């Protein structure tokens, strides 16, 4: 070992040069509440139960989404539409109870692909945190998109850009 190597001076200077180089690079972190991270176009977020243009629910409680779910996160109960409920449901059968356990969901998108009525899709919003297990079981009321007749602004916001693309295709 030479005298300079025993002083460790070249190694210290090399380490300082690396540190100095990293100080002027673009930072990988973001300031979350103020800045939003851009997501991939194929990002799968929270589930949304869709409505048609007249505000009626698309879901006919066929159960294909629940069967397709590998994590068995979806549970539903079907009911028959009453004569005075034509303005609420498209078909004679509808989902009286529809729940998704987000703790079991793996966001695979198979429920979205299995649905023949385009009643469910995965939106561009991510699942919020919660303090209780009960808060992660979303009911039908929490999953339904706002009514386009009564709440047009929130309907467009909840629909997102990907839902508009799938309806156009």
pLDDT band at 168 (very low <50, low <70, confident <90, very high): low
Q: Is the dihedral of CA 53, 57, 63, 68 positive or negative?
A: positive
Tokens 């629910």, residue located:
57
Domain that holds residue 145: 47-168
Q: Specify if 89 maps to a domain.
A: yes
Per-residue pLDDT, 164 = 53
**125/104 Cα distance (integer angstroms):** 18
Tokens of 166: 């799938």
Q: pLDDT tens, 42-53?
A: 888 899 999 888
Q: Look up the CATH number of the domain holding residue 98.
A: 3.30.70.3270
Residue 78 has pLDDT above 90, yes or no: yes
Tokens 């007749």, residue located:
149
Q: Specify if 3 maps to a domain.
A: no
Q: Specify if 118 maps to a domain.
A: yes
Do residues 93 and 58 lie in contact, with contact meaning Cβ atoms separated by under 8 Å?
no
Tokens of 53: 């243009």
Q: Specify if 80 maps to a domain.
A: yes
Q: pLDDT tens, 21-67?
A: 999 898 888 888 888 888 888 888 899 999 888 889 999 999 999 99
Q: How many domains does the chain have?
A: 1
Q: Specify if 27 maps to a domain.
A: no
**88/34 Cα distance (integer angstroms):** 39
Q: Specify if 28 maps to a domain.
A: no
Tokens 């176009």, residue located:
41
Q: pLDDT tens, 86-144?
A: 888 888 899 999 999 999 999 999 999 999 999 999 988 887 888 999 999 999 999 99
**10/49 Cα distance (integer angstroms):** 63
Q: Specify if 65 maps to a domain.
A: yes
Q: Specify if 119 maps to a domain.
A: yes
């Amino acid at each position: 070992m030479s005298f300079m190597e025993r002083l460790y001076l070249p190694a210290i200077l090399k380490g300082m040069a690396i540190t100095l180089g990293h100080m002027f690079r673009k930072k990988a972190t973001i300031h979350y509440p103020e800045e939003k991270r851009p997501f991939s176009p194929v990002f799968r977020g929270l589930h949304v139960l869709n409505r048609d243009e007249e505000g009626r629910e698309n879901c006919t409680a066929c159960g294909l989404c629940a069967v397709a779910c590998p994590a068995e996160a979806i549970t539903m109960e079907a009911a028959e539409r009453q004569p005075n409920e034509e303005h609420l449901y498209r078909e004679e059968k509808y989902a009286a109870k529809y729940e998704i356990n987000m703790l079991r969901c793996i966001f695979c998108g198979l429920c979205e692909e299995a649905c023949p009525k385009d009643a469910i899709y995965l939106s561009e919003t991510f699942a919020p945190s919660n303090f209780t297990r009960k808060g992660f079981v979303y009911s039908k009321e929490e999953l339904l998109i706002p009514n386009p007749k009564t709440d047009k602004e929130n309907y467009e916001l909840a629909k997102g850009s990907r839902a508009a693309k799938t309806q156009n295709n």
